Amino acid sequence: MTPGLWVAFVVIGAVTYLTRALPLLRERSGTADAPPPAWLDALGPCILAAIAVAVLLPEARGAWAEGSLGPFALGSGAAAAMMLWRRDAGLATVAGVVAYWLSV
């Protein structure tokens, strides 16, 4: 492995550790009664949306280039519909895979 990859591992590990440790340190400092910042409520959904775009956008571009946007759209739509209906990521994944498989 290249040294740059190890640096990336260390940076990602440090950021991950800090995101988990800082809330615990915040509560110990005596400010546990203070309400959390308002932006904290939106942080989780924003991160998930960013991950979804980073994963799905290259796949959508590839499907568009190959002319197979239909199966991709049906699989994505089925996963989104199942997620809206049941709020279960496992079922949404299965629905997306089955819809994609049936449309291919």
Same domain flag for 58 and 76: yes
DSSP state of 29: T
Neighbours of 55 (CB within 10 A): 10
Band (pLDDT 50/70/90 cuts) for residue 48 is confident
pLDDT in tens, 55-92: 889 989 998 999 889 999 999 999 999 999 998 989 99
Asked if 20 and 48 sit in the same domain, the reply is no
Task: Quote the DSSP letter at residue 31.
Answer: -
Q: Say whether both 52 and 98 belong to one domain.
A: yes
Quote the CA–CA distance of 31 and 62 in Å, as a whole number. 49
What DSSP designation does 2 have?
Answer: -
Based on the fold, state whether residues 56 and 23 are members of the same structural domain. no
- Where do we find the tokens 């949404």? 92
59 shares a domain with 11: no
Q: How many domains does the chain have?
A: 2
Containing structural domain, residue 22? 1-31
Do 48 and 80 share a domain, yes or no?
yes
Answer yes or no: pTM beyond 0.75. no
- Two tokens, residue 57: 């956008």
